[in-house]
Amino acid sequence: MKSLLNRRSVLAGPSHLVQVPRAHAADPVSPDDREAAALAPDNAEPAVASAAAPASAEATRPVTTLRPVPVVPSQVSARGVQIADTAEIEWLAEEDALTPFRVFRSFDYSVSLLFHAKELAYYVVLYQEGSLWRALKAADLEAAETAFHHFVEQATRLSDGETRRAQLEAQNEQLARMIARSEAQAERLRSDLQRRGAQEQTVSNRQHQVRKEVSQLEAQRVAAQAHLNKAHRQIHQLNLTSNEGIPHLPNR
């Protein structure tokens, strides 16, 4: 059991015992201390027994080993991204010192991931109508790409209205063209119907005129046939009358 406690002491790292004022003696005991006190035998070392001593005794606590804290600017986030100086970016752009790695554009918004090779630094810039709006600086490509995707999502959200407007304008223009074609087709059909109706009226009038003329011609034919028959009868009668005046001649 003592070896178990010694192992736990070794894993906890270097420590030493300090005296705690009586005002803090009533502080709650940690679960590890209670477990150690429960497992410790009656003849445990005084240092271990003091950890589970009542509030009247002086409690001891291990002091955590200090670790080095990196000195970084306060504005740097946990991902290694910080606010960039826009004037510095504009100057570097004028000097052609930035290499574009990624470029995204949506209407009036654009996002660029730029690399400054001399300083091994990355800049993520958001533009609005060609003017630099926001800029971030990163020390590694992974953090820069994360910032780039963040700006891309932001630019996409900002341009949602532009996207919807362009879609509606295109749809309205398409509907206008379809309406114009439909109206033109309806006008052609209307003209065809009117022309067809006029032609049908003309044909109907022509047929009526033809039937009228045919009836007249048929009446004229009947009258002429009757007149011809009468003339044939007259001729036949005249022939008979003429034949009566011929003398009767004997046969040889």
pLDDT tens, residue by residue, 122-131: 999 999 988 9
Residue 9 phi, psi (nearest 5): -70, -40
C-alpha dist (Å) from residue 43 to 1, 37, 71, 164: 12, 12, 48, 81
pLDDT-derived band at 10, boundaries 50, 70, 90: very low
Q: Is 47's pLDDT higher than 70?
A: no
Q: Is 211's pLDDT higher than 90?
A: yes
DSSP string, 88-127: HHHHHHHTT-EEEEEEEEETTEEEEEEEETTTTEEEEEEE
Tokens of 43: 């003849």
What letters, b where the CB count within 10 A reaches 16 and e where it falls short, cover 145-170?
bbbbeebbeebeebbeeeeeeeeeee
pLDDT tens, residue by residue, 213-230: 999 999 999 999 999 999
Its pTM stands at 0.46
Instruction: Share the mean pLDDT of the chain.
Output: 76
Tokens of 150: 């963040």
pLDDT tens, residue by residue, 173-202: 999 999 999 999 999 999 999 999 999 999
Burial of 133 (0-12, 13-18, 19+ CB in 10 A): middle
pLDDT-derived band at 241, boundaries 50, 70, 90: confident
